[in-house]
Amino acid sequence: MTSEPETGMELPPYLIPHSRESIRILYADDSLLIIDKPHLLLSVPGRHPLNRDSLITRLDRFFPGVAAAHRLDLDTSGILVVPRNKATLVAINKQFQDRTVLKTYRALVYGEVKDDQGQIDLPLIRDWHNRPRQKICTETGKPSVTHYRVLDRQPSATLLELKPITGRSHQLRIHLMALGHPILGCDLYAHQKALAAAPRLLLHACQLTFKHPLTKENLRAYSPPPFDITGLFTLRPG
C-alpha cells in the first residue's frame, strides 16, 4: 500500500468558500492570544491563491508576527492558542510535543453510543486519491488515539466529550465514523442520514489547558459549543 500519490499525478485544487464569521479573542497579552475560531475558516492559509483567508491571515493584520502552534479542521469551531513571537511559539510547540496541552472537544454523533466511555486507537494516513480525506491504515498510518465519554444520550444521537491524545488531521471524525457513530453534519465521513441531520459539522474544541511560557501560570480557556442535544438537534445562535 503506497502512502504517496503516483508520480506526475495532477489533482484539482480544493477551494474553500470565504467565511464571513468573526473571530472572538478570549484572552490576549504580549506573548499569546487565545482565540475562538468559527467553523468554515482555515487555521492557516492554504496553498492555492484563493485559499488565503484564514485565522492567522486575519489576526496578522492587527497582531503582526502571530504564528500557528496548532490547527483546527476547516469545519471545526473552537479554541486555539496563537503565539505572538518566536520564543512563545517554540515553548508552546514543545508543550504540544510533550503532550502536556490538554484538549477537550464536544461532538454530537449519530445514534446511541452504548458504552459510557472508551478509547479508539486506529492509525491514520492521508488519502492521496480522495483529498482532503484521511483514512485508517494499519500498515503505514501514524498512531492516533482518542478517549471519549458520553455526556447525554437520545435514541437518535449522543453528546460526547472527546479528548484526543494525538492530533492527526480529521482524527476525531474518522475515529467516530469507525466507531459506527459519525459526527452529525460531517460532509467527508458521515453517511447521508448523519450528514443531513445538521447544517454544519457538530464538533467544537471547547476547552484548552496549557502553561503560559512566560508566567508559568496554568491557563484554561473554555468556549461553550454552539449546539446542544435538545429536541433532535437544535443549533444555538452564535
Which residues participate in catalysis according to the annotation?
Answer: 73
Residue type, 7: T
- Quick one: cell of 101? 496541552
Pairing of strands 77-83, 227-228: unpaired
For residues 94, 99, 101 and 103, what is the CA-based torsion angle, rounded to 10 degrees? Answer: 140
Closest C-alpha among 146, 137, 141 to residue 166: 146
Q: Does the CA dihedral 191-194-200-202 come out positive or negative?
A: negative
Rounded distance, CA 214 to CA 198, Å? Answer: 41
- DSSP state at residue 4: S
SS3 assignment, position 232:
coil
Pairing of strands 32-37, 218-222: unpaired
Rounded distance, CA 139 to CA 20, Å? Answer: 41
